[in-house]
Structure formats: structure tokens, C-alpha cells
Structure 1
Amino acid sequence: MPMINNTRRQLSQLPLAALLSLVIAPLPTNGTATTNARLAGATNTPNAAPTPATNVSRSSHRSWPRAFANLNYAAIDKPECSGNPRREVKAIYVNLYSACSGKLNDLIELAGQTDINAFVIDVKDDRGNLLFRNMAAAKLNAEANRKALMDDPRPLLQRLKAKQIYCIARIVTFKDPLFARVHPQKAIINNRTEEPFQGSDGLAWASPYDADFREYDLGIAHAAAVAGFNEIQFDYIRFPDVARNANLNYRRHGPQSKAQAVQSFLLEARRRLRPLNVYVAANVFGLVCTTADDMDIGQYWEAVSNAVDYICPMMYPSHYANRSYGLRVPDQQPYELIDRGIKDAQRRNRNLATPARLRPWIQAFTATWLKEYHQYDVAAVKAQIKALSDNGVQSYLIWNPANNYQKQAYR
């Protein structure tokens, strides 16, 4: 998950041209030209001129936007995994420490008394910490391996599966300050300081282009699959969300674009993991289903959706600027925000022959840093779930970083 203020910070840093593209960026459509009102409605930028719509066809990639035409949109077989049937997942996020403490008992009890039937468990978190020791870490990041919280996750998974809880391994992918510190030659570099780049949270990123780093994440994913997780979910499967004029050295050693780096990683993950009978999922910014490009972070909706089994847009109402979708304060209108966002996601998926299934992240925290924040109580969570259900989406993921969940919201 991104830090809570990342999306709002990103909007404030975008140059004018990029902001205009958010206002009225066209959605690709299946053979027809369409222009949709984008985030931050026209009332915010009355002088914005419409951008020409882009025609997109399933059969001819030449009609994709030029910058993204060389990505893989070909149909990909996505069968059900043997011995691992698909489920309408209703999941909560479980951090490393909840997974290894008495807090887990409370979360299992929650699942037994509500509709919750799945846990998204940190296997590698956004500080590079690991749930369990594994060969990939032993080879490429001995410090992370030494600090891991357990030797073997199988007893944990067996306990959860005995309770009919579907187990999703969350792997924070390219944001990894521990790996970047151990291997500074593989970190993204701030050219102004010649030091490893750090985001607004002070955490470093390793390069998504680096072969060893990619192998490290893929190795952790493989270990999680072998241990018995039902699904591998890649988070921070993107480049840092910085201003487009940020002076960063991504250590790119060829012509591969950011979107290509992201999609090629996911396709390789799929190639390796699917034979192990696990599903592959990717988390993306909620804005990605609405913007016409990859937001300069490498997340182009159709490219990600085509590569994975499940795509998980993070549609937290608190992450949207005021007037997004014509809503004065999106955080105060959870139903309306989710309703508009999921419709955009569904439209984008219709551009593909074999899109990923939709499984959005929704908000179960109160964004107290907002000037006009809304208390995310039971009613606010239920409103988001209802918006998804009204649009035919029965699966969801619930984000509360402290893992505090109100039982009444999930009945």
C-alpha cells in the first residue's frame, strides 16, 4: 500500500500538463472513441481543452497509445488452479506483527463471525522485513533473512486453512529500503545528492530494472507459493510516485520503459508461479483506472490487468483530491467514489480479451490529516462494499494498517 498521503502528494507535484490529463483524459475503448470526465472535474480547470480520444481495439495493438503499444495485450489463458479453487474473496490486511502475535487470534475470531474469508498477510513489508526465512533472502539479502520473524510459515497457513481462510501473500516489490541499503549499487539514485533516492517517508527504493533485485522478489514469491499460500499479491509494483522532472537515476541499461519493466516482471512471475497452482495479483493506484497513461510509475491499466489473475485498485476515498469525479469531498462520499471508480475499472477491462478479475482495496481507516475528513465507521465501510456489489463486484480487500476492524461492517 502506498503511504496514505502519497496520491495527494503526487497530484500536488504533477506539472500542469499532467494535471490537465487527469481532468479530461480519454479512456481507451474497444473500437470506439470516448472522452470521460476525469478526476478533479472541469469546475477545477475551466480553461482545460479536451484531449483527443484514443481508439483501442482488442485485435490491433497499433491503435493503443503509442507509448504503450509495445506491451503485451495478447490473450493469456487464466484457468482455475488445480486444488486451489477461485473464491469471492472478502479479505482483511494482516501485517507482520499481527501474523506473529496474539492479535491473530482476534482476527481469526473476526473471520469466524463475519463474511471475512481471506487474509492478506505481509510476506515482505514496505521496509523490506520478511515474514519467514527463505533461500532467495539467504542468497541476496542475508540481513533480511536473519531478521525474519519465523523459519517456516506452514504451521500458520495450516491453522488458517483449517478455518477455511484463503491465504494471500503480500509482497512489497520495488520499495525495499533494506535491500537498497545492503546493495546501494542497485538502488535508485537521486542525481542531485548522488545518494539513494528516498521517498517522502524516508524509505529507499531499489531499481525495478535490476536483475538481481527482481530475482530476489521472485524468489520470495516462489517460497511463499511452495509454503502453501493460495495467491501471491505484488504491492508497490511500480516506480516511485515523484514529480515528472525528478532527477533520478533508475539504473536502466536498455530501452525498456517503466510500463514494460512492470509488466515483464508480472509476466515472469506468472510464468514461474502458475505451475505451483497459485494465483497472481497486483495492487495499483486507484487513479490508474482513470488516467490515460501510466502516471509515470509504470502502471498502465491494461498492461497490468492482462498479466495477472487479479487486479486490485486501491480506491480509498481519502486518496482522491476534492472535486474528483465531481465530488466535492470524496472522503465524505464513499459510496459515490467507489461507484464511479469501479465503473472506470470495468470499462478499462473491457479493452482486453483476458482481463484480470477485479478485487479492489477499500478504506477502513479515518484520514484525520484531511481538513474535511469523514469518520470511517461501520456505515462508511458498508457503503463501499455496497457500491461494489451494486456494480457486480462481490470481492474486496480491507485496508487498516493497524489491523483494527469493526466486526459489524462485515456481516
Structure 2
Amino acid sequence: MSGMREFLRGFGIVFLAGAGVVGGFLFFPAHLFSGFLNSVGPAIIGLGGGETVPKEKTPAELIAEARERSSKIKGLYMTADVANDPGAGATRLRKNIIRIAEETEVNGIVIDVKEVCGVDYDEKRTRELLAELKQKNIWSIARITVFKDASQVAAHPDWYLARNAPHVVGGECVRKRHLAAKPAGTPAPAVGAALWQDRRGGYWMDPASLDVRNYILDISKRMIDVGFDELQFDYIRFPSDGDVENAMYPVWDSNTPRHEVLKSFFAFLHDNLKQYKPEIMLSVDLFGYVAAQREDLTIGQRLDDIGHLFDYVSFMVYPSHYYSGFSYAADPANNLPAVHYSVAEARMHPDVVVGRSLIAARDYLNVINNPQTIDANDRRSFARLRGAEVASSSSSNYATADVATSAGDSARNQPSIAGARIRPWLEDFFHEDDKAAGRPYGAEKVRMQIDAAEAAEDAGWLLWNAANLYSEGALKKE
């Protein structure tokens, strides 16, 4: 403090010759005063009621700002190839997606940075793209596939599920072998027939492996450093397709429930990434079925374990993906009737599929995040929430009424009370098939899903099209 007094005393002597007195107050010429402020920086917050030097935002302020900015993201998916390829075709698709975001209600873009074939991004081009998105106030989300990853098979075969029966499936990463990590030192032995593969030939890492967890954490931190606003985790589960009974895990012991393994991984990601950058937003992709069947589906995903560890949950409520049918019990609290659809009928009613799934998930998240808000004497809420079914149905009693948009005020715009909010993936694909079958398609189908999602919880939505082509007619102009 004495040093500062000496400095200020010297400052007064040096500049006194250039000062003026007006009305009894001492003033310095602007060029002298600004030079002084530039030299001392933030050491002096304000002098004599003048302008203050801007102070840095606190972590709490940054978190609140990120939550506010991310609260109603309406996004489009962009593949890694389109995001990184400088060629004319990719550039045209990339610019078109950005143009849509500038001209419509869309305000976010989900970009693949790690897919099932491995990490796939060019850092220089990605930084340039993110700078452009930031300048245009477009929210950027890095999509990271987690446990389905073929890139480390040669370098780290011990990270992967093995199999106890000979079986080889054609791989799905033939075109992207350049993403595979090379083994260090002595080449690893051939592992093709030794590792377990799913129906599409994909390889899966052990969710219980600490090496795997650190590998995912390292990639996630790199994406934060590159400049993404949010990280979204997909394939964050145990495998579901293929002869899973023949899969052998190098670390996980089958005595520990799968959901406990994933719950510990969710906490691992949350704690490490929020410490690394408190304001980074975290989201997770879940099967649409999980919105209804909240118990473990053998893949380890449970809503109970997610509510306080992620900022957003993106259910993939694609109406075309309910291959075993779509069924929900009556929901008197929200004035909704029972609904029982075959797979074909589910595609006839995309709004019902999206609306009923998200309403049930929203209400259940409210219960697990805030149990004190539920009347202890009113168990109907739990019974209703546990009564949802998504299973194969032999019944011919299929609902045909449009119940998503006529649900009444009680089911509309009721956000989850705390914890994770719902921002679903909606389908913008299979339009030709739907058109041929006389089902809603194109912009009509997409808008029906959007309206149902916004009626259930107005926290945004994401559109998926693997070809990077979107039904712009479904989007509101801005």
C-alpha cells in the first residue's frame, strides 16, 4: 500500500505541470490520464468518480450467462466432413447451414468432432468456423461419440470388448482408416477376430476402463480449448445390437449394475469438465425409449442418474425408430388419453410420439430432481410416470386421435423444475418413404415435431439429417 502511495505522489509531481484547475478541482489532459491508466491497468478500478476499468466476470456470472444463452437452442447437425472439408461440395453445404441459422429461428449448430471411426476434425479450420459462428451469435456444440470407437483398436486393444466365440463382421470405418491410432513401438498382434463387434461391425470400448475415461476426458478438454460452447456426448452407453451375450469386458465385472458404471462415468465427466471450465455446457444423447422406460434397458442409461450431471438431455425421439411400437398409459394429470401405436402408426403421428415422450420425461425429471415438490400423499404422479410403456404390442386397439396438440394447458410449456432440461433430437429424414406411404413428410412432419417439442418443454430442439440437408420450410423466418 505504501508503494502505491509513493507511486501516486510521484504521479502527481510528474504530471502537475500539465494539469489544470477548474472550479477547485484538479484535472489532467486526456492524453496524459489515459496513458497513466494504460500503464497501471486494473490496479485502479476508479478515480474521482470517473470511468471504471471493466472487471472480469466471476465464474457464477459466466455460468449464468451460458445457461441463459443455451436455454432455447434450435440447432442443426453438421457432419465432420462438411465442417472440415475445403472442397466445393462441403463448403456449399456448410455455408447453407450457416445461412439457415442467420435467416431463420435456428441459432445453433451441432458439429461432429469425434465419431464412431475416431476423432475427426482439423483444428485450424474448426477454430475458423467457430470464430465465424461466434461472430454471428450461433451456439456451437461439439458432438462426441463415446464408447463406440474403432480408432484405438490397433493402439489399445486392451480397451475393447473381446469375444468368446469366433466372429468377424465387416467394419463400418473402411473409408476412414486414416483416423485409426497407430500402435507405439512393436506392432500389436492382429486383433480382428479377437474383439467383439456389433451388427454393423463397430467396436466398443469398456465403459469401466479408467484409460478409456481419461481418453474421452482428454478429447473433451481439447474441444473446450478449441472454443466450443457446449459438449454433447453420444453412444454413452453399453452396446445394444449384436450378440452382446458373447461380449467380454476387460475391466467391468458383471456384478456391478451397468447403470452404476455409467453413473460413475457421468460424474467423472461432470466433475472434471466443470472444474476445467465451469461455464461449459454439457449435454447427453439418449434413446427415445429411455424417455418412457426409465429403468435400465441393459444399456445402462437411466434418467435417475442424469438429472444433476448434465445441463441438457437430448432424447432421440425419432418417430420412425420405434420398431416395437409406441405405447403410453393414460395421463389424467396432463389430460392425455392412452395411446397405442404400431410402428407404422407411430410414423403417422410424429407430433404425438414426440409430445408424449417429452411430457413424460419432463415430469419424471421434475420428480427425481425435486422430490419435495410432490405431495407425499399423492402417489399417482409416480404411478403415472412409471406407467409409460414402449414395447411390442399385439393389441389392435390403436389410438388415432391427435393428442399432442390438444393436451390442454397443463401439459404445455411446463419446464423441468431443476437440473437437466430437455432439448430433443427430431428427425428431418425418411421423407420419401413417408410421402410414398401417405404419412406426414418434409416441412409438415418437421414442424409437427417442433411444435410438439415446444409444447412439452420450450428449451429448444435439434434437427438431424446425415446428409446435412434440411427442410427449411419448417423453420420460422427471423
**TM-score normalized by the length of structure 1:** 0.72
d(CA) in 1 for partners of 2:77 and 2:243? 31
Q: Which position in structure 2 is the counterpart of 1:357?
A: 421
Match in the other structure for 1:81: 63
Distance 2:294 2:303 in 1: 9
* Residue 243 of structure 1: how far off its partner (Å): 6.7
Instruction: Give the unaligned 5+ runs of structure 2.
Output: 1-59, 85-89, 167-192, 328-339, 370-417
- Give the aligned partner of residue 216 of structure 1: 215
SS across alignment from 2:306: helix
CA deviation vs aligned residue, 1:225-245 (integer Å, no higher than 9, x gap): 122111111100001013786
Deviation string 1:272-303 (CA, Å, 9 cap, x unpaired) is 22231201111010101211421100101111
For residues 270-289 of structure 1, what are the structure 2 equivalents within 5 Å?
270-275=270-275, 276=277, 277-289=279-291
Question: Which moved further from structure 2: 280-289 or 94-103?
Answer: 94-103
2:137 counterpart of 1:164: yes
The letter for the 2-side match of 1:340 is R
Deviation (angstroms), 1:154: 2.0
Q: How does 1:26-45 map to 2 (within 5 A)?
A: none
In the other structure, the counterpart of 1:260 is 260
Once the 2 structures are TM-superposed, how far is the Cα of residue 403 of structure 1 from its aligned partner? 0.9
Distance of 1:150 and 1:120 partners within structure 2: 16
Aligned partner of 1:342 in structure 2 is 358
For residue 441 of structure 2, what is the aligned residue in structure 1? 376
Q: Which residue of 2 aligns with 1:225?
A: 224
- Identity within the alignment, %: 29
Aligned equivalent of 1:404, options 469, 473, 476 = 469
Pair 1:387 & 2:440 matched: no
Larger relative contact order (Cα-Cα within 8 Å, sequence gap ≥ 6): 1
Opposite residue 86 of structure 1, the aligned amino acid is R
Deviations for 1:198-244, whole angstroms, at most 9, x for unmatched residues?
A: 11211111111221111111111111112211111110000101378
Matches within 5 A, 1:12-411: 81=63, 84=66, 85-87=68-70, 88-100=72-84, 101-102=90-91, 103-131=93-121, 149-151=122-124, 153-193=126-166, 195-242=194-241, 246-254=245-253, 256-275=256-275, 276=277, 277-321=279-323, 323-325=325-327, 326-328=340-342, 329-353=345-369, 354-366=418-430, 374=439, 376-411=441-476
Question: What is the identity, as a one-letter code, of the residue corresponding to 1:91?
Answer: G
Moved more, 331-340 or 179-188: 179-188
Rounded to whole Å, the distance in 2 between the matches of 1:322 and 1:366 is 18
Q: 1:392 to 1:376 in 2, by over 3 A?
A: same
How far has the Cα of 1:386 moved from its partner?
0.7
* Equivalent residues of 1:331, 1:373 under 8 A apart: no
Q: Is the contact between residue 158 and residue 250 of structure 2 (CA under 8 Å) also seen in structure 1?
A: no
Task: Check conservation: 1:190, 1:247, Cα contact below 8 A.
Answer: yes
Hey, what's the Cα distance between the residues in 2 that align with 1:165 and 1:355? 24
Q: Assess, with a 3 A threshold, how the Cα gap between structure 1 residues 126 and 373 changes in structure 2: closer, same or farther.
A: farther
Question: Quick one: structure 1 residues 166 and 294, their matched pair in 2 at CA, closer, same or farther if it must change by over 3 Å?
Answer: same
1:373, 1:179 → 2: CA distance? 45
Deviation at 1:305, TM superposition (A): 2.6
Distance 1:373 1:294 in 2: 36
What are the ranges of 5 or more consecutive residues in structure 1 without an aligned counterpart?
Answer: 1-77, 132-148
Shifted more, 287-296 versus 235-244: the winner is 235-244
Inter-partner Cα distance in structure 2 for 1:369 and 1:410: 22
2-side partners of 1:245 and 1:164: how far apart?
44
Aligned with 1:90: secondary structure? strand
Q: For the residues of structure 1 that align with 2:347 and 2:245, how far apart are their CA atoms? A: 29
